[in-house]
Amino acid sequence: MGVSEILIQIDREIAQLQHARALLGGKVAPATKKVAAAPAAKKKAKKKRNLTPEGRKRIAEAVKRRWAEQKKAAAK
């Protein structure tokens, strides 16, 4: 079960609880928006993006340069 399907289920349960609360409170519940089920066949799972060790190293070096520049500017 995907995240979107879980969210749809939660939205349905919330709508049912709000309707029940309105009925118990003596109020007529406003018309709730129907939540359509998301077709599982149309949604593709997002591919996880992984960094290579070289990419991680480049990012780490760039961050260290940035910190050094900030520290140098703060010292002035």
Predicted confidence (pLDDT) per residue in 7-62, tens digit: 999 999 999 999 988 888 876 555 556 655 555 556 677 888 899 999 999 999 99
Number of H helices, E strands in the chain: 2, 0
User: What pLDDT, on a 0 to 100 scale, did the predictor assign at position 66?
Assistant: 96
User: What pLDDT, on a 0 to 100 scale, did the predictor assign at position 30?
Assistant: 56
Q: Look-up: residue for tokens 């309707």?
A: 19
Rg of the chain's alpha carbons, rounded to an integer?
A: 25
What's the structural domain count of the chain?
Answer: 1
- Over the stretch 21-30, which tens digit does the pLDDT of each residue have? 888 887 655 5
Output the CA torsion 24→25→30→34 (10° steps).
-40
pTM beyond cutoff 0.85? no
Give the range of the structural domain holding residue 17, as residue numbers without chain letter. Answer: 3-75
Q: Are the C-beta atoms of 7 and 17 separated by less than 8 Å?
A: no
